[in-house]
Amino acid sequence: MTTDNQNTIRYTLNELPGLIQQLMPLLQQHKVLALHGELGAGKTTFTAALCRYLNVRETPDSPTFSLINQYTFDDKDGQEQIIYHTDWYRLRDEEEARMAGIEDMLAEEYAWCIVEWSENARGLLPENTLHLYFKLDQLPGSRVLTVHQMAV
C-alpha cells in the first residue's frame, strides 16, 4: 500500500483490511460516505471490508436491486449501530431518490450511510460527506483510492 501527499492511496485487495484500519479515524468523522468509481472499481468490495472490520452481523451484499441494505454492529461501548448501504445507480434523479425515502435515511442521526453512485442525486448529500474515488490501477489486482472531504 502506498500513499502520496494528495490523499491518494494505491492498494491491493489483500491490503484492504489494513487500509480500512488506516482510514477509520477519518471515516468515523463522517456520517455519510459517497463512493465514486466505474463498475468493478471496488466500491462494494470496500464496503464489505469495512463491514467486516466493524463486525456487522449481516453479510454485506450489493444493494443495486434492493436500493438499500441495512447492517448492524455494536460499537466499542456495546451500543448497536446501523449502516445503510445504498446504491443509487438505478435512480434517475433527486426526486426519485426522495420518493424512495433516501432523505430519511440520510437524516438519521445515529446511522452511517454508504452511498454508491451518489452522482444520480448529488444534491441530497449533506455537506459533511466524505467522498472516496475508486479506480482500477494499471498494476494487475491493484486499485487507487483518492479521498476528498468535499466533492470534486
Per-residue confidence (pLDDT) for residue 1, from 0 to 100: 57
Give the 3-state DSSP-derived string for 41-83, with helices as H, strands as E and coil as C.
CCHHHHHHHHHHHCCCCCCCCCCCCCCEEEEEEECCCCCEEEE
Convert the pLDDT of each residue in 65-74 to its tens digit. Answer: 778 899 999 9
> Three cell numbers at 109?
442521526
The CA distance from 5 to 7, in Å, is 6
Angle between helix axes 16-27 and 43-53 (nearest 10 degrees) is 80
Domain ranges of the chain: 2-148
The yes-or-no verdict on residue 5 having pLDDT over 60 is: no
> Three cell numbers at 149?
472531504
> Three cell numbers at 99?
420518493
Per-residue pLDDT, averaged over 27-31, amounts to 92
Per-residue confidence (pLDDT) for residue 4, from 0 to 100: 52
Convert the pLDDT of each residue in 131-141 to its tens digit. Answer: 999 999 888 88
Out of 3.30.530.20, 3.30.465.10, 3.10.20.30, 3.40.50.300, the CATH code matching 2-148 is: 3.40.50.300
Cα-Cα-Cα-Cα dihedral sign, residues 110, 146, 51, 87: positive
Per-residue confidence (pLDDT) for residue 39, from 0 to 100: 87
Per-residue confidence (pLDDT) for residue 59, from 0 to 100: 84
The yes-or-no verdict on residue 6 having pLDDT over 80 is: no
